[in-house]
Amino acid sequence: EKAGLTKAGTSDEIAQVLSKYGLPTSDSTDIDKIVGTAMLDKKARGSAINLVMLKQIGESFLYPADRNKLAELTEALK
């Protein structure tokens, strides 16, 4: 949402459902660790990765991101 990729209110809706079932809605894992692990994923190609993103609940799309963009998007989630 902060990057303008997802419909406003989507994260709140998801957080409400996660909370309802006692699931975590945040993570304090170090961003460098998240980025490093994500770059090991099978969707990563060289220095970029295709992220599966939500336009809104029920509608996803692939978003290519390099390490810097991935770190920026991850930081926006905190």
Residue at 59 is within a domain: yes
Residue 4 lies in a domain: no
Sheet holding 44-45, edge to edge: 44-45, 48-56, 59-66
- Examine residue 21 and state whether it is found in any structural domain, yes or no: yes
- Assigned domain for 1 exists: no
Whole domain around residue 55: which residue ranges? 10-76
Q: Write the CB contacts of 6 (distance below 8 Å, at least 6 apart in sequence).
A: 53, 54, 55, 56
The tally of domains found in the chain comes to: 1
**Is residue 5 in some structural domain?**
no
Average model confidence (pLDDT) across the chain: 87
In a domain, 3, yes or no: no
For residue 61, what pLDDT is reported? 95
d(C-alpha 15, C-alpha 33), whole Å: 23
Residue 2 belongs to some domain of the structure? no
- Flag residues of the chain having pLDDT under 50: none
Look up residue 59 and give its two tokens: 């509608």
Which pLDDT does position 78 carry in this prediction? 66
